[in-house]
Amino acid sequence: MSFALLTLFALLLSTGQILFKKAALAGVGGGLFASFLNVWMIAALVLYASATLLWVYILRTIPLSTAYPFVALGFIVVPIAGVMIFGEEIGWRYFVGSFLIVSGIAVISAT
């Protein structure tokens, strides 16, 4: 159960980051606050608020030292989503780094 909640939390944060990017792109060419006045920004903020509530719930039952490394999953998910959604590019270093992040999470989760 805790692994599922931690994974859900990481996915909520990652999705929020993608929505923030969409909000920023939707506000291009507008005024300073244009990116704050679109549906993407509102969705991102609602998602981040939900993720925060989930995080507090997670921390009631899981030590911070175990839970926090799962935040690093966003460093893997967000760039992959950036490639798929925005056509961004990632190189071989990304894959090496992702392997190291996943390895570290596996080591921490096993203890």
Domain limits for position 9: 2-110
> Per the structure, how many domains does the chain have?
1
| Residue 34: pLDDT band with limits 50, 70, 90 | low
For the segment 23-49, the average pLDDT, to the nearest whole number, is 83
Tokens 């995080």 identify what position?
55
CA distances to 64, 92, 98 from 60, in Å: 9, 38, 28
In which band, very low, low, confident or very high, does the pLDDT at 45 lie, cut at 50, 70 and 90? very high
CA angle at 22 for the pair 99 and 73, rounded to the nearest 5°: 20
